[in-house]
Amino acid sequence: MQQEGRGIGLTNKLRAYTLQDGGLDTYDANIALSFKADERDYEVAAVMLARLGVASVRLMTNNHSKAEELGRFGVKVDGVVPIRPEVTPFNERYFEAERDRFDHTITLDGQKLIDPCARNR
């Protein structure tokens, strides 16, 4: 499915994992493969919601751009419910990249990043 791996497809996501094993974070791995950091397209999701007659949604995500992108395609986002990830030594670097490189609202070790959406209010 093309949506896999931030829209670069499963095969390229595996290539990105190889680059991450070599030291790049998830952001830089996608750039090294000549992709934008996030290639996902939310138009199909918006069309599906419209066809199902869904008037508005609450998203479970730490990624504020998902709400922005869905809104761009006419989906009314009534709220965002943050997800508290289970951080382990194996995934901590990934979540740090999510927070620091993608501006995701993630709490790590009790330190909550200020909601990036609030910066524009």
Long-range CB pairs of 103-108, under 8 A, 24+ apart, other chains included:
103/64, 103/65, 104/62, 104/63, 104/64, 105/62, 105/64, 106/62, 106/82, 107/82
**CA gap 42, 72 in Å, rounded:** 9
Phi, psi dihedral angles at 22 (to 5 degrees): -85, 0
Q: CA nearest 62: which of 8, 114, 10, 4?
A: 114
Is 28 in the active site?
A: no
Which residue in the list 6, 21, 25, 38 is annotated as catalytic? 38
Which residue in the list 40, 100, 103, 115 is annotated as catalytic? 40
Is 58 in the active site?
A: no
- Which one-letter amino acid corresponds to residue 21? D
Q: What residues are annotated to the active site? A: 38, 40
